[in-house]
């Protein structure tokens, strides 16, 4: 049985926009008494986390606002062959391009989360299901893997039992390698059929309990890293694409058609109709903002292909000045992006599907320093504050997911960055330890 866009469950979204940075704030701290789990404990929070400027409480958000955490399978699960899993493009890429993927030998093990569950007391958990666990050959004709179905059934049931809403990403960068080899993956229209088949299996198998589906994580990043600079699979340099406009208006923007010309695939009339307004919510992954410089006469020598097509170049700084504080945190950019999206795309429902910040891994640092990530709490509060302002200005933001629950494998940068609310000890059987941010988030959500 196939599924066409017109009868897909009305719970899809596509993520957009992301670049990230690490932020270290040097912070003074003071003690806050926080209620958690019925008891009280003391958290040494940075003073900046309690400044008037960002005094935003969880109760300042609408009652149905969802607070969650996010992960992705390829970055955490490990167990690359367990239960008959097939190979993803990232497993292939990490094995064959060690020069591009740092710590590549660690990629297959992730942080072993396929074999471990945990609970943080959040309202929602965003995770991805790897295509190659459910359909090991990539195609439905190769059969559905019942063992994997059992595994995710039990995870989903466990979440629901604990009052945590599952939010499932269908594809978070881990396309089946078999489809890459068979027809070139995303660049071939056959991808649409296989993606539809795979999504259909997920909807029919888990859709009775999962009501929130994220279609494709960061298509723009996927295009840029996979096809332009080659930092991600398949690693070739071809072309770049834009995504939000067709989902709202059924077609690419006029300016884009004019500049990309025949390299831009055309939608059929049927596809345009099916696409228009075909999402229930838009997912935004926001880490920081940069500048775009108008380039009326783009230079092929100095600019990337997507910049040439857009007649604009990406700039980190303007006249030597970066946006926001010098370390890259710019919550005002999130507020502006939200308000722009409201105006430009007919005021859609929006989820902040990822937001967070990572510190540099330094295994010689004492554990108490590694666990003391007050800078992350400040970063999160600053962004929650920006979201709250956007909501007051009429933007329909429905939820917020911190990236990420546990330190993970950060794609090409390997284990270099620690985004986790939980620290992972890679030298001690992936032992998990809550950072200050984990304790704070729990307390923050429980406070009334
Ligand atoms: C991705 C995540 C990644 C995060 C932080 C986002 O681009 O969706 O998979 O780990 O940024 O680097």
Could you tell me the distance, in angstroms and rounded to a whole number, from the CA of residue 20 to the centre of ligand 1?
8
Mean pLDDT over 94-114 rounds to 96
Q: Which atom of ligand 1 is nearest to the CA of 15?
A: 8
- Using the predicted structure, report yes or no on whether residue 25 has a pLDDT greater than 60: no
pTM greater than the 0.85 cutoff = yes
Q: Is the distance from the beta carbon of residue 410 to the nearest atom of ligand 1 less than 6 Å?
A: yes
**By CB neighbour count within 10 A (0-12 exposed, 13-18 middle, 19+ buried), where does 394 fall?**
exposed
pLDDT tens, residue by residue, 294-346: 899 999 998 988 889 888 888 888 898 888 876 678 999 999 999 999 999 99
Q: Which atom of ligand 1 is nearest to the CA of 411?
A: 10
Q: Is the distance from the beta carbon of residue 177 to the nearest atom of ligand 1 less than 6 Å?
A: no
Probe residue for ligand 1, chosen from 16, 219, 354 as the CB with the greatest number of ligand atoms within 8 Å: 354
Classify 245 as helix, strand or coil: helix
Q: Which atom of ligand 1 is nearest to the CA of 221?
A: 7
* Residue 270 appears among annotated catalytic residues: no
Q: Is the distance from the beta carbon of residue 54 to the nearest atom of ligand 1 less than 6 Å?
A: no
Region class of 347: left (phi > 0), else alpha (psi between -120 and 50), else beta: left
For CA atoms 354, 420, 443, 32, give the dihedral sign: negative
Q: Is the distance from the beta carbon of residue 72 to the nearest atom of ligand 1 less than 6 Å?
A: yes
Most confident of 9-18, 41-50, 52-61, 376-385: 376-385
Q: Is the distance from the beta carbon of residue 405 to the nearest atom of ligand 1 less than 6 Å?
A: no
* Residue 181 appears among annotated catalytic residues: no
Whole-number Å distance between alpha carbons of 142 and 391: 46
User: Which domains does the chain show, CATH number per domain?
Assistant: 19-244+280-289+324-444 (3.20.20.80), 292-323 (no CATH)
Residue 308's Cβ-side half-sphere holds a number of Cα atoms within 13 Å equal to 14
């Amino acid at each position: 049985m196939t599924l066409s866009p017109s009868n897909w469950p009305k719970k899809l979204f596509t993520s957009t926009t992301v670049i990230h940075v690490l932020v270290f704030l040097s912070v003074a701290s003071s003690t806050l008494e926080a209620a958690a789990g019925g008891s009280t404990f003391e958290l040494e929070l940075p003073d900046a986390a309690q400044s008037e400027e960002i005094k935003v409480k969880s109760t300042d958000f609408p009652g149905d606002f969802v607070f969650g955490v996010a992960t992705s399978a390829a970055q955490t699960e490990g167990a690359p062959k367990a239960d008959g899993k097939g190979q993803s493009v990232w497993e292939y890429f990490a094995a064959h391009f060690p020069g591009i993927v740092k710590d590549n030998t660690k990629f297959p093990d992730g942080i072993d989360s396929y074999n471990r569950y945990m609970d943080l007391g959040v309202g929602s958990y965003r995770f991805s299901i790897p295509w190659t666990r459910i359909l090991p050959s990539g195609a439905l004709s190769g059969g559905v893997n019942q063992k994997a179905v059992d595994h995710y059934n039990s995870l989903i049931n466990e979440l629901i039992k604990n009052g945590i809403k599952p939010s499932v990403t269908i594809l978070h960068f881990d396309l089946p390698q078999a489809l890459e080899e068979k027809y070139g993956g995303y660049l071939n229209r056959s991808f649409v059929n296989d993606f539809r088949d795979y999504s259909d299996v997920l909807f029919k198998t888990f859709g009775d309990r999962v009501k929130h589906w994220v279609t494709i994580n960061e298509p723009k990043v996927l295009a840029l890293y996979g096809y332009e600079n080659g930092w991600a699979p398949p690693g070739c340099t071809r072309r770049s694409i834009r995504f939000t406009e067709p989902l709202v208006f059924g077609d690419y923007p006029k300016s884009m058609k004019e500049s990309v010309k025949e390299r831009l695939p055309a939608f059929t009339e049927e596809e345009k109709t099916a696409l228009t307004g075909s999402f229930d919510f838009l997912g935004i992954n926001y880490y920081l903002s940069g500048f775009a410089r108008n380039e009326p006469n783009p230079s092929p020598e100095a600019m990337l292909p997507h910049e040439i097509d857009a007649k604009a170049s990406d700039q980190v700084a303007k006249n030597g000045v970066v946006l926001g504080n010098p370390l890259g945190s710019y919550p005002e950019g999130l507020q502006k992006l939200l308000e722009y999206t409201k105006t430009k795309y007919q005021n859609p429902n929006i989820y902040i599907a990822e937001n967070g910040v990572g510190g540099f891994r330094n295994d010689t640092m004492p554990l108490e320093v590694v666990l003391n990530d007050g800078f992350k709490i400040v970063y999160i509060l600053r962004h929650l504050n920006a979201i709250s302002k956007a909501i007051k200005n009429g933007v329909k933001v429905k939820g917020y997911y911190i990236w990420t629950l546990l330190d993970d494998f950060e794609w090409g940068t390997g284990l270099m960055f620690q985004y986790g609310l939980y620290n992972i000890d890679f030298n001690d059987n992936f032992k998990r330890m809550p950072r200050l941010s984990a304790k704070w988030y729990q307390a923050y959500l429980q406070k009334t």
